């Protein structure tokens, strides 16, 4: 089932808050402090610690779930992992586009007909242009490499990707000319006006990211590490319009 991306949707539903905490107890505490949040991201640390517990808890609270496992392995292994992951009822699940076409097709086959939508990781935002060229030996420049990964994911039947907000506008234009299928872009690297950028190198404000074409924004520390997370959430919602 595809997620319906309605531009008139309540902007608060576009914000996915990263539950980057070590245990289910910490995660539940954060959910209790922020009952307004409807979409939570569970990443590797929390999933490895207490995955089944927190996913069950989020479902019981009728929350939407972004399961950010960034899977990357041989097609059979990733396909099987995706099949099992659909049982958690997550809305989004990530796999690395760099795993290649056979891997992405195997994954897509396994989620087909479930409520889980796969998102392709185009390139980790922690990889710089220099690392891409000198360490990973990729000959394309970073924006072109990212675009190629996302277009490859689309050609394998995926309907969404994670990218930097700086790449969203160019990607949207290229994706739209390829297909009339709705393709969803999810962007981390979002910082509200006046907040610390931390280890994110290229950031945009929530409003800029949405204007650039982001359908969903992943925001962690500006909300979860704020002195007053509720006030931080409210400010971000206001910035989203
Ligand atoms: O705290 P912050 O807002 O930087 O959190 C961003 C979240 O998005 C983290 O959970 C991080 O793992 C995730 N993420 C990212 N860059 C990607 C993919 C995911 O920052 N390319």
d(Cα 226, Cα 13) in Å, to the nearest integer? 20
Contacts of 10 by beta carbon, 8 Å cutoff, 6+ apart: none
Cβ–ligand 1 contact at 20 (below 6 Å)? yes
Give the tokens for residue 68. 């950010």
Q: What is the pLDDT along the chain (241 residues), one digit of tens a residue?
A: 445 444 446 888 999 999 999 999 999 999 999 999 999 999 999 999 999 999 999 999 999 999 999 999 999 999 999 999 999 999 999 999 999 999 999 999 999 999 999 999 999 888 889 999 999 999 999 999 999 999 999 999 999 999 999 999 999 989 876 665 689 999 999 998 888 777 777 789 999 999 999 999 999 999 999 999 999 999 999 988 7
Ligand 1 midpoint to CA 38 (Å): 18
Give the tokens for residue 202. 């290229």
Residue 144's CB is within 10 A of a number of other CB atoms, namely 12
Residue 5 lies in a domain: no
Residue 2 lies in a domain: no
Residue 6 lies in a domain: no
Residue 232 lies in a domain: yes
Q: What is the pLDDT of residues 69-97, one digit of tens each?
A: 999 999 999 999 999 999 999 999 999 99
Domain count, the chain: 1
Residue 3 lies in a domain: no
Domain with 154 in it: what CATH number? 3.20.20.70
Q: Which residues are catalytic?
A: 70
Cβ–ligand 1 contact at 44 (below 6 Å)? no
CA-based nearest residue to 229, from 33, 24, 23, 42? 33
Residue 183 lies in a domain: yes
CA-based nearest residue to 159, from 218, 74, 95? 95
Ligand 1 midpoint to CA 215 (Å): 16
Nearest CA owner, ligand 1 atom 15 = 188
Cβ–ligand 1 contact at 17 (below 6 Å)? no
Give the tokens for residue 162. 């994670």
Contact 205, 16 (CB under 8 A): no
Residue 144 lies in a domain: yes
For residue 68, what are the domain limits? 11-240
Residue 90 lies in a domain: yes
Q: State the residue for tokens 């979409």.
A: 39
DSSP calls for 58-79 = HHHTT-EEEEEEEE-S-HHHHH
Cβ–ligand 1 contact at 125 (below 6 Å)? yes
């Amino acid at each position: 089932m595809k997620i319906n991306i309605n531009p008139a949707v309540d902007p608060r539903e576009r914000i996915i808050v990263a539950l980057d905490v070590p245990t289910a107890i910490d995660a539940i505490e954060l959910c209790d402090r922020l009952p307004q949040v409807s979409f939570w991201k569970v990443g590797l640390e929390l999933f490895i610690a207490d995955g089944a517990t927190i996913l069950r808890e989020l479902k019981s609270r009728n929350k939407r779930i972004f399961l950010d496992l960034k899977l990357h392995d041989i097609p059979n292994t990733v396909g099987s992992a995706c099949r099992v992951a659909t049982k958690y009822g997550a809305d989004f699940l990530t796999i690395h586009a760099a795993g290649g076409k056979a891997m992405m097709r195997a994954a897509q086959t396994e989620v087909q007909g479930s409520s889980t939508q796969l998102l392709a990781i185009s390139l980790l935002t922690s990889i710089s242009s220099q690392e891409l060229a000198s360490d990973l030996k990729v000959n394309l420049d970073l924006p072109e490499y990212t675009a190629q990964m996302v277009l490859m994911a689309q050609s394998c039947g995926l309907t969404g990707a994670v990218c930097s907000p700086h790449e969203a506008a160019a990607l949207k234009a290229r994706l739209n000319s390829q297909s009339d299928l709705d393709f969803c872009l999810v962007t981390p690297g979002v910082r509200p006006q006046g907040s610390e950028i931390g280890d994110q190198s290229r950031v945009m404000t929530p409003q800029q990211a949405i204007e650039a074409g982001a359908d969903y924004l992943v925001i962690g520390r500006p909300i979860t590490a704020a002195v007053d997370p509720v006030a931080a959430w409210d400010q971000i919602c206001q910035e989203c319009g």
